[in-house]
Every structure is written in structure tokens, then in C-alpha cells.
């Protein structure tokens, strides 16, 4: 059975994550209309995390948009449908839209994004990855921070909850590729793979911040299976 339960928010102003075990760590889900950064190194499950969020909404009849800046849309659909919750009909009927935009100007990118959200009344948006947006459009840290603020304002205006996927370099002490994006977003969840012993690794996540939320500060183990991501907030990593 796919792990997309607990889809309805357990409190006012919350949007369920679609990740079994995560909602209880953040008071019932993401703050509605918030901008949350999902950070991690390669192979930590960030794309799966974002697609599971969108498909969980689709299971409730809620539209969403996945913006891919590297992979082609058919690759994204194949990724999603490899899990039990990734029904092909969500993509065929555009309940979940996959968009690969032309990258020319940030203002044009944002306008096209707004049009796509408005067109089908999407309430969930995932951008994979935000690191590439910075690389395409901005060199000045001020411009990057301003673009993040613009996305946050867009989310609130369009009544849309946004996840931006961000890269962390191996060995980096930062929570984002640049080291300052984490200060601008409303929430940060960090995915990692940690070494348990000489021959075993474990997947972990922790909530670094979540605005207006009394969230867990625990290192939470999770697994990725054919059912997608399942978090275990009461379990210990070591």
C-alpha cells in the first residue's frame, strides 16, 4: 500500500506533506502557501520527496506543477510512476503538470510559472532544482535572495505551497549551494545519508526550520522503497 496517508492537514493552515511520518514532526504539515527548501547531497531522495508531495495532492484531486530544469518530462514521469503512488493518469490528465521552461530571464520564467499555476488552479509547486535557477540567472547574492522573495510572494498570492530543491556539495557545511538561501525561505528540510558503522549507511532527515511551527529537532531516519519515502520520527538512527 502506498505511503501517501495523512494527506489532510491535521491543523488549520497546514498542507500535508504526503510523507508518512513527517507531518507529525511539523505540526500537521507545511504552513499553507509557504516556501520550503529541501536540501541535500546527491542520491538523498529529494526528487522523490517532491514528486510524492505532488502525487499525494493529486490523490485528493489537488493540482500541482513540477518544474524540471535538467531532466526531460518523460524521465520525471518514469521516476514518479516507478512508485506505488505515481499513477500515470495524474500526468496524462495533467493533475500533475511537468514543465521544462526556457531559461532566458527570471522575470519571464516567473511569469510562465504563474500562468501555469493559474491555468489549472495548482496548489502545490516543486522546482527541481533551485540551484540551477541561481546558476542561470544570477551571480549577485542580492539578486538570488530577491528572486527567492519573489517566489515566496507569488506562492502567497496564488495560494500555492512551494518546495524548492537545493543542492548541497559533499563536505559542505552550508544548507544550500550558496550558503545564504536558507536564510530567505520559510522552511528548510535537510536530507542526508550518514554512516552508521563500517559497512552500513542510513537515510536521515531533519527539519532545520519551519516558520510558525513547533517542529521536531530530531534526526529522523527514513527509507525509500517501492512505496516511496517513509519517515520514522520515533525511531533512532544509531
For the entire predicted model, the pTM comes to 0.89
Write down the pLDDT at residue 139.
Answer: 59
CATH number of the domain that residue 131 is part of: 3.40.50.300
Q: Average the pLDDT over 123-151 and give the result.
A: 77
Q: What share of the chain has pLDDT > 90, as a percent?
A: 62
- Residue in 61, 72, 73, 140 with CA at minimum distance from that of residue 106: 140
CB of 153 closer than 8 Å to CB of 2: no
Write down the pLDDT at residue 135.
Answer: 64
Position 1 in a domain: no
From CA 34, how far away is CA 159, in angstroms rounded? 9
Check whether 92 has a pLDDT greater than 70.
Answer: yes
Domain that holds residue 148: 14-196+208-231
Write down the pLDDT at residue 138.
Answer: 56
Write down the pLDDT at residue 199.
Answer: 86
Check whether 179 has a pLDDT greater than 80.
Answer: no
How many domains are there within the chain?
1
Position 57 in a domain: yes
CB under 8 Å to 174, separation ≥6 — which residues? Answer: 168, 182
Which residue would you say has higher pLDDT here, 199 or 40?
40
Q: Average the pLDDT over 151-167 and give the result.
A: 90
Position 7 in a domain: no
Position 202 in a domain: no
Check whether 136 has a pLDDT greater than 70.
Answer: no
Position 169 in a domain: yes
Write down the pLDDT at residue 4.
Answer: 46
- The region of weakest confidence among 14-28, 120-134, 136-150 is 136-150
Amino acid at each position: 500500500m502506498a505511503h501517501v496517508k495523512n494527506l489532510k492537514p491535521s491543523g488549520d493552515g497546514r498542507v500535508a506533506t504526503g510523507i508518512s511520518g513527517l507531518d507529525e514532526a511539523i505540526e500537521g504539515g507545511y504552513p499553507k502557501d509557504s516556501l520550503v527548501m529541501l536540501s541535500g547531497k546527491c542520491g538523498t531522495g529529494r526528487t522523490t520527496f517532491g514528486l510524492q508531495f505532488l502525487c499525494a495532492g493529486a490523490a485528493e484531486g489537488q493540482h500541482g506543477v513540477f518544474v524540471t530544469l535538467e531532466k526531460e518530462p518523460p524521465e520525471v514521469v518514469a521516476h514518479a510512476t516507478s512508485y506505488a503512488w505515481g499513477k500515470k493518469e495524474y500526468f496524462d490528465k495533467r493533475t500533475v503538470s511537468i514543465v521544462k521552461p526556457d531559461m532566458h530571464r527570471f522575470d519571464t520564467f516567473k511569469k510562465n510559472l504563474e500562468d501555469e499555476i493559474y491555468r489549472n488552479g495548482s496548489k502545490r509547486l516543486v522546482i527541481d532544482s533551485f540551484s540551477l535557477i541561481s546558476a542561470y540567472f544570477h551571480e549577485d547574492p542580492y539578486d538570488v535572495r530577491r528572486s527567492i522573495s519573489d517566489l515566496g510572494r507569488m506562492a502567497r498570492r496564488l495560494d500555492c505551497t512551494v518546495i524548492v530543491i537545493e543542492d548541497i556539495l559533499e563536505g559542505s557545511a552550508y544548507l544550500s549551494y550558496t550558503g545564504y538561501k536558507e536564510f530567505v525561505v520559510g522552511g528548510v528540510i535537510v536530507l542526508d545519508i550518514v554512516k552508521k558503522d563500517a559497512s552500513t549507511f542510513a537515510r536521515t532527515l531533519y527539519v532545520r526550520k519551519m516558520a510558525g511551527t513547533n517542529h521536531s529537532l530530531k534526526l529522523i531516519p527514513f527509507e525509500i522503497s517501492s512505496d516511496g519515502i517513509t519517515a520514522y520520527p520515533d525511531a533512532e538512527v544509531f
